[in-house]
Amino acid sequence: MERIWRCREHRIVCGVRTLLVGVVNVTPDSFSDGGLHLDAEAAVGHGLELADEGADVLDVGGESTRPGAEPVAAADEIARVVPVIERLAGALPDVPLSVDTRKPEVARAALDAGASIVNDVGAGTEPGMFDAAREAGAGMILMHMRGEPRTMQVDPTYEDVVAEVTAYLRDRLEAAAAGGLERDRLCVDPGLGFGKDLDHNLELLRATGRMREDLGVPFLVGPSRKRFIGTLTGADDPADRVEGTAGAVAWCAAQGADLVRVHDVRAMRRVVQVVDAIARGWTAT
């Protein structure tokens, strides 16, 4: 089913093919590529490279949310992401930019700099976050996380992880609506690796198609290079998890995920091109 996701001036068509959200981490400590693009020049260059490789959206983050990560002051986060977003927005006017943040003040600064989407691992629980997105006419991604990054992987437990994550995301969609955000501005993410163990992640992946239909908005999944892939494949180095990521991305695409958030855009573009041709009858030619 085709869905239009409204994100400021952008109208992102979901449901026709699998869209790729390229990761631009401007952080010293992200789990996969922390420190590689901490300099604004390097981060901008990386974003331009990902766009050239086929990213449909670029997600710029200035605070690591890896397990055990310490919080970053809003001023430091703003100093990291705003220069990058300003330059990418000027160079790539047709590519929607997302800011990956939990803080309303960071979201506002990023939206002022040219971002069109707020990707919030806190799902709008921080007071003022819905206001920031609504006032800018931005799109918003609401993600499920059990706890917070410092403690989320300390013995996460669920009675029924799919039912509980679905219920949480439905509740946050209702909260966003109450905060004045139209439903066609919203997207959800089950939050693989955010307060989930291996079995939880696999159960959520198996339920991708059902959760998408149940929630009725664009559905994003972020399996890229995550620890559960390393556990399954024996790849300790996140950069060595490309093939495992490809397996998860192929599954998500075949199950109807609207967007996948990935580090390795060129490789994952090729994966979803093949899966989309098989599962959706979509080809790039």
Burial 7-19 (b: 16+ CB within 10 A, else e): bbebebebbebbb
Burial 181-218 (b: 16+ CB within 10 A, else e): beeebbbbbbbbbbbbbeebbbbbbebbeebbeebebb
β-pairing, 3-7 vs 10-14, is antiparallel
Catalytic residue among 3, 146, 261, 269: 261
Catalytic residue among 8, 108, 225, 226: 226
Distance CA 280, CA 282 (A): 5
Catalytic, 261? Answer yes
Catalytic, 6? Answer no
Taking the CA atoms of residue 248, residue 253, residue 259 and residue 264 in that order, the dihedral angle to the nearest 10 degrees is: 50
Question: Catalytic amino acids?
Answer: 226, 261
